[in-house]
Amino acid sequence: MDYKMPNRCPVCNHEMRISKLTCTHCPTKIEGDFSSCKFCRLPAEQLIFMEAFIKCRGNIKEVEKELGISYPTVRSRLDSVIETLGYTVEKDKEKVDPQEESLRRQGILEALERGDISPQEATLKMRKADK
Protein backbone atom coordinates (compact mmCIF):
# COMPACT_ATOMS: atom_id res chain seq x y z
CA MET A 1 0.00 0.00 0.00
CA ASP A 2 1.29 3.48 -0.87
CA TYR A 3 0.79 6.21 1.69
CA LYS A 4 0.75 9.89 0.84
CA MET A 5 3.70 11.71 2.32
CA PRO A 6 2.59 14.01 5.13
CA ASN A 7 3.42 17.61 4.30
CA ARG A 8 2.92 18.96 7.84
CA CYS A 9 4.54 17.81 11.08
CA PRO A 10 1.96 16.10 13.33
CA VAL A 11 3.67 17.64 16.38
CA CYS A 12 4.31 21.31 15.50
CA ASN A 13 2.45 21.68 12.14
CA HIS A 14 5.54 23.02 10.29
CA GLU A 15 6.48 21.89 6.77
CA MET A 16 7.94 18.38 6.46
CA ARG A 17 10.99 17.87 4.20
CA ILE A 18 12.04 14.73 2.36
CA SER A 19 15.31 13.39 3.76
CA LYS A 20 15.65 9.94 2.22
CA LEU A 21 14.82 8.46 -1.19
CA THR A 22 14.82 4.72 -1.86
CA CYS A 23 14.72 2.98 -5.25
CA THR A 24 11.76 0.61 -5.67
CA HIS A 25 13.86 -1.80 -7.78
CA CYS A 26 17.37 -1.94 -6.29
CA PRO A 27 18.84 -1.19 -2.82
CA THR A 28 19.92 2.37 -3.76
CA LYS A 29 19.19 4.97 -1.09
CA ILE A 30 19.90 8.70 -1.23
CA GLU A 31 19.84 10.90 1.85
CA GLY A 32 19.71 14.68 1.89
CA ASP A 33 17.33 17.60 2.29
CA PHE A 34 14.80 17.63 -0.55
CA SER A 35 11.70 19.75 -0.99
CA SER A 36 8.48 18.37 -2.40
CA CYS A 37 6.59 19.94 -5.29
CA LYS A 38 4.11 22.73 -4.55
CA PHE A 39 1.15 20.56 -5.58
CA CYS A 40 2.27 17.80 -3.20
CA ARG A 41 1.70 20.26 -0.35
CA LEU A 42 -1.99 20.76 -1.18
CA PRO A 43 -4.46 19.18 1.25
CA ALA A 44 -6.60 16.32 -0.13
CA GLU A 45 -9.68 18.55 -0.64
CA GLN A 46 -7.68 21.02 -2.76
CA LEU A 47 -6.12 18.18 -4.79
CA ILE A 48 -9.58 16.80 -5.58
CA PHE A 49 -10.68 20.28 -6.65
CA MET A 50 -7.58 20.76 -8.83
CA GLU A 51 -8.07 17.39 -10.53
CA ALA A 52 -11.64 18.38 -11.41
CA PHE A 53 -10.50 21.85 -12.53
CA ILE A 54 -7.86 20.37 -14.84
CA LYS A 55 -10.21 17.65 -16.11
CA CYS A 56 -12.72 20.38 -16.99
CA ARG A 57 -9.94 22.43 -18.64
CA GLY A 58 -10.56 25.35 -16.31
CA ASN A 59 -14.18 25.75 -17.41
CA ILE A 60 -15.85 26.98 -14.22
CA LYS A 61 -19.36 25.95 -15.36
CA GLU A 62 -18.08 22.39 -15.92
CA VAL A 63 -16.35 22.38 -12.51
CA GLU A 64 -19.68 23.46 -10.96
CA LYS A 65 -21.40 20.45 -12.55
CA GLU A 66 -18.54 18.02 -11.82
CA LEU A 67 -18.35 18.84 -8.12
CA GLY A 68 -21.96 19.95 -7.57
CA ILE A 69 -20.95 23.35 -6.20
CA SER A 70 -21.88 26.95 -7.03
CA TYR A 71 -19.90 29.48 -9.04
CA PRO A 72 -18.84 31.48 -5.94
CA THR A 73 -17.67 28.25 -4.27
CA VAL A 74 -15.56 27.33 -7.33
CA ARG A 75 -13.99 30.81 -7.27
CA SER A 76 -13.38 30.61 -3.54
CA ARG A 77 -11.73 27.19 -3.78
CA LEU A 78 -9.59 28.30 -6.70
CA ASP A 79 -8.47 31.37 -4.72
CA SER A 80 -7.65 29.10 -1.78
CA VAL A 81 -5.48 26.82 -3.97
CA ILE A 82 -3.69 29.84 -5.45
CA GLU A 83 -2.90 31.14 -1.96
CA THR A 84 -1.78 27.70 -0.74
CA LEU A 85 0.64 27.54 -3.69
CA GLY A 86 2.15 30.79 -2.41
CA TYR A 87 0.66 33.33 -4.81
CA THR A 88 -1.33 36.45 -4.01
CA VAL A 89 -4.98 36.55 -4.95
CA GLU A 90 -6.28 39.96 -5.91
CA LYS A 91 -9.61 40.19 -4.14
CA ASP A 92 -12.51 41.65 -6.10
CA LYS A 93 -13.60 44.98 -4.71
CA GLU A 94 -17.17 43.84 -5.07
CA LYS A 95 -17.87 40.21 -5.84
CA VAL A 96 -20.61 40.22 -8.43
CA ASP A 97 -22.75 37.15 -8.99
CA PRO A 98 -22.69 36.42 -12.75
CA GLN A 99 -26.45 35.73 -12.76
CA GLU A 100 -27.15 39.05 -11.04
CA GLU A 101 -24.90 40.82 -13.53
CA SER A 102 -26.70 39.16 -16.45
CA LEU A 103 -30.09 40.20 -15.06
CA ARG A 104 -28.86 43.76 -14.51
CA ARG A 105 -27.61 44.01 -18.10
CA GLN A 106 -30.86 42.52 -19.39
CA GLY A 107 -32.74 45.20 -17.42
CA ILE A 108 -30.67 47.94 -19.09
CA LEU A 109 -31.42 46.52 -22.53
CA GLU A 110 -35.15 46.26 -21.76
CA ALA A 111 -35.20 49.88 -20.52
CA LEU A 112 -33.48 50.91 -23.75
CA GLU A 113 -35.99 48.93 -25.81
CA ARG A 114 -38.93 50.61 -24.01
CA GLY A 115 -37.36 54.02 -24.58
CA ASP A 116 -36.93 54.67 -20.85
CA ILE A 117 -33.24 55.46 -21.39
CA SER A 118 -31.23 56.71 -24.37
CA PRO A 119 -28.59 54.62 -26.15
CA GLN A 120 -25.95 56.86 -24.57
CA GLU A 121 -27.33 56.21 -21.07
CA ALA A 122 -27.43 52.46 -21.75
CA THR A 123 -23.80 52.56 -22.91
CA LEU A 124 -22.76 54.44 -19.77
CA LYS A 125 -24.63 52.00 -17.52
CA MET A 126 -23.04 49.01 -19.27
CA ARG A 127 -19.55 50.55 -19.04
CA LYS A 128 -20.03 51.37 -15.34
CA ALA A 129 -20.62 47.65 -14.69
CA ASP A 130 -17.39 46.68 -16.45
CA LYS A 131 -15.24 48.80 -14.11
CATH at 56: 1.10.10
- The number of domains in the chain is 2
Q: Give the residues across from 21 on adjacent strands.
A: 30
Torsion of CA 43, 66, 96, 127, to 10 degrees: 120
Angle between helices 44-55 and 60-67 (to 10 degrees): 130
pTM assigned to the model: 0.55
Question: Is 77 domain-assigned?
Answer: yes
Q: Is residue 45 in a domain?
A: yes
DSSP element (H, E) containing 18: strand 18-22
Q: What is the pLDDT of residue 109?
A: 86
Question: Mind listing the pLDDT tens digit for each residue in 2-58?
Answer: 777 777 788 998 888 888 889 999 999 999 988 778 888 788 899 999 999 999 999
Which string of b and e fits 101-117 if b means at least 16 CB within 10 Å? eeeeeeebeeebeeeeb
pLDDT at 94 over 60: no
111 plus 77 within the same structural domain: no
Question: Rg of the chain's alpha carbons, rounded to an integer?
Answer: 24
**Residue 80 and residue 45 in one domain:** yes
Q: What is the 3-state secondary structure (H, E, C) of 54-85?
A: HHCCCCHHHHHHHHCCCHHHHHHHHHHHHHHC
| Containing structural domain, residue 123 | 98-130
> Is the separation of the CB atoms in 7 and 15 below 8 Å?
yes
Tell me whether residue 20 is in a domain: no
Is residue 76 assigned to a domain?
A: yes
